Copies of this chain bind each other. A is one copy, B any other.
């Protein structure tokens, strides 16, 4: 038997991203075992027909030589799920494949892969772009690092969860591509905020600027979506300022480890820090335009 349904899949982390992803697997007839730290989402998916686990360790045991997908908030959460007291490594069976679909630090990713390898398992880092909307619509872009064999094994599952999966390179390469993605997003959002602020101050409606730029060289998905949020003042997240800040800081940590300077990204971090200091950390990252609006109102 081949195809995704041939593998048992354990899914850890049933948040805004993970819950719809687990549902897509189940709907595709994958034998799906779920675990979540808090009971709400776990009970919900078990009621929908998925199997539940009592801990990551328990889930790993149930999955056997199948696949374990981890979709949790940040690097420390992956560490806990993987290496904690009742973590995956204590139940991992030889032949299992662990796929981390969160945005996790590159150096930690390589360490986690080593730990899993020591326990006889394989590892793929496979962070995604596309957010909650992409998770719900199964239109995520997946950027993966790992061996050819591990990627090939993961691919039928990626095909269920997203509409693009790229094998970027070895372990950590998916996270490196995601870091590049987040840098470009963070710097572009701020570029649009600066451009809109200048236009507004010069007497031109940002909505007119966005209209004039649509379809031209400066156009982008971000100009379309985050630009519209800036115009509407619609700052409910979406992609939170604190998350954007974390991703940019992670990029700079990596740059520091590699001994390179990224001046625009460094400046960008200071802008997110200021926005958080001023109380806007829980808003959508398009709220960076408020920094400029306040500077203008305040002078």
Q: Which residues of A contact B (CB under 8 A)?
A: 106, 129-131, 141, 143, 164, 166, 168-170, 172-174, 176-177, 179-185, 187-188, 190-192, 194-199, 201-205, 208-209, 211-223, 251, 254-255, 258-265, 267-268, 271, 292, 295-296, 299
With contact pairs A203-B169, A268-B264 given, residues A181 and B213 touching in the complex (Cβ less than 8 Å): yes
Pick 23 A–B contacts, CB within 8 A, sort by A. Answer: A130-B216, A131-B217, A141-B217, A168-B204, A169-B203, A169-B204, A169-B208, A172-B202, A176-B202, A176-B209, A177-B209, A177-B212, A180-B199, A183-B194, A184-B213, A187-B187, A187-B188, A188-B220, A190-B264, A260-B295, A260-B299, A261-B295, A264-B267
A251 to B202, alpha carbons, bound, how many Å? 11
A170 to B251, alpha carbons, bound, how many Å? 42
With contact pairs A198-B254, A254-B198, A255-B198 given, residues A218 and B169 touching in the complex (Cβ less than 8 Å): no
A148 to B264, alpha carbons, bound, how many Å? 40
Say yes or no: A215 contacts B254, CB within 8 Å. no
Say yes or no: A258 contacts B194, CB within 8 Å. no
Determine which residue in A202, A263, A299 has the highest number of CB atoms from chain B within 10 A of its CB, and name it: A202
A251 to B221, alpha carbons, bound, how many Å? 23
Other-chain residue from B213, B265, B299 in contact with A180 (beta carbon distance below 8 A): B213
Across the interface, which residues of B come within 8 angstroms of A170, CB to CB? 203
A129 to B211, alpha carbons, bound, how many Å? 13
Closest to A211 in B: B166
A247 to B135, alpha carbons, bound, how many Å? 40
Across the interface, which residues of B come within 8 angstroms of A172, CB to CB? 202-203
How far does the Cβ of A121 sit from chain B's closest Cβ, in whole Å?
A: 23
Rank and list the top 10 A-B pairs by shortest CB-CB distance, nearest first: A220-B220, A187-B191, A180-B195, A141-B216, A166-B212, A129-B216, A184-B218, A143-B212, A177-B212, A183-B195
Across the interface, which residues of B come within 8 angstroms of A209, CB to CB? 168, 176-177, 180
How far does the Cβ of A11 sit from chain B's closest Cβ, in whole Å?
A: 23
Other-chain residue from B130, B181, B260, B295 in contact with A292 (beta carbon distance below 8 A): B260
How far does the Cβ of A285 sit from chain B's closest Cβ, in whole Å?
A: 11
Say yes or no: B173 contacts A204, CB within 8 Å. yes
Across the interface, which residues of B come within 8 angstroms of A192, CB to CB? 184
Across the interface, which residues of B come within 8 angstroms of A260, CB to CB? 197-198, 201, 292, 295-296, 299
How far does the Cβ of A150 sit from chain B's closest Cβ, in whole Å?
A: 17
